[in-house]
Amino acid sequence: MKNIISFFFFASFSIISCNSKVDRSQAFIPDSSGNLNNITVVMPISDWKGELGKLVRDNLGKEYEGLPLDEPQFSIDYLNPKAFSGFGRQSRNIIWFQKDSVSRFQLAKDQFSKPQIVGLVTGEDSEVQQFLFEENMLLFSQTVKENERKEKLRRINKSPTNDKNLKKRFGYDLVYPSVYETVKDTANFVWIQKKVQKGHLNIIAYEISDNISDKNFNTKILNIRDSIGKLYIPGRLRGSYMITERAYQPYFYKVTLDGKKGYLTKGTWEVANDFMAGPFVNYIVRDSLTEKWMVIEGFAFAPSMNKRDYMFELNTIITTIKKVN
């Protein structure tokens, strides 16, 4: 095990370029395929049904934070090594387990298609492979998440909006698809929306002047959300408006967005005096020049529908925000 550990520190940070150790008899590298947030797992069926397979499913299938009902952060497809050829190798994200006398974990970029991330785990038995997977799970997961974020942005940029509402109001650019339409545009509040099956995706933005710090941001943000909801986001019934669902504890993080200090909140919204609810993701960042806080939030309403990929889209869009003047 000592030799495994020493090799791990070398292997865990090695990313193979598309020019190394790859059969390049064909000059053409096909485009990768697959749904967003999907990972193909390649291992013998005996391992998939055993402890190694369970470990992989439990780790890659951990819940996506901030949703009303549990959904996995990644969807998982199993592939038998005998079928791992041709189109089977074009998945955008792959983790491949192989029996080998050499124990290693490696990340390969654009190995069989592009864009693509392949995690390779080799060891003499499943116990060694379990160890290497556990030690490198975070690295692999973060790499896949970034790969998926870039893929989502690539798709968005096929038909980006020409709307400059945020730039005109607040001096910020935001990259989002042209299918989003403006719902409300006032002096200090912009709301854009995209229709989806059984509902809609929403992004709102506004500025505030408030004393927010590491000590009080979790309480402040929820109170700000509720006051903005009452002012600008009505429900279907008279006297109804959006508030934060307090029965489910939100997730709070300190972050940096567009090079600025800020806070991230993930949780569930509901409508006071009505029966509507869904997930939200809220970013608040401080502009040191104006000494104001820029708030940008995405929320989804899609009853009876899975919402992970909706929230992934909203989060990806929000993280493109950039101060332009």
CATH code, domain with 223: 3.40.1000.10
Answer yes or no: do 136 and 284 share one domain. Answer: no
* Positions in the chain whose pLDDT score sits under 50: 1-25
pLDDT given for residue 27 in this prediction? 60
Answer yes or no: do 213 and 97 share one domain. Answer: no
How long a stretch of residues is the chain? 325
Residue 83 per-residue DSSP state: G
Answer yes or no: do 146 and 209 share one domain. Answer: no
pLDDT given for residue 42 in this prediction? 98
The residues, ordered by sequence, that sit 6+ positions from 215 with a Cβ below 8 Å of its Cβ are none
pLDDT given for residue 210 in this prediction? 85
List strand residue ranges (DSSP E) for 63-178, in order. 75-79, 93-99, 104-109, 117-123, 172-173
Answer yes or no: do 95 and 148 share one domain. Answer: yes
Answer yes or no: do 264 and 137 share one domain. Answer: no
Domain boundary among 156, 179, 205: 156
110 vs 316: CA distance, rounded Å: 22
Query: 68: cis peptide before it, omega within 30°?
Result: no
Q: Which domain holds residue 105?
A: 2-156
Interhelix angle 51-60/126-156, rounded to 10 degrees, is 30
The CATH number that applies at residue 99 is 3.30.379
Domain boundary among 156, 189, 206: 156
pLDDT given for residue 17 in this prediction? 41
pLDDT given for residue 15 in this prediction? 46
In total, how many domains does the chain have? 2
Answer yes or no: do 191 and 136 share one domain. Answer: no
CA 223 to chain centre: 26
Answer yes or no: do 136 and 191 share one domain. Answer: no
pLDDT given for residue 289 in this prediction? 85
Answer yes or no: do 122 and 205 share one domain. Answer: no
Answer yes or no: do 188 and 146 share one domain. Answer: no
322: helix, strand or coil = strand
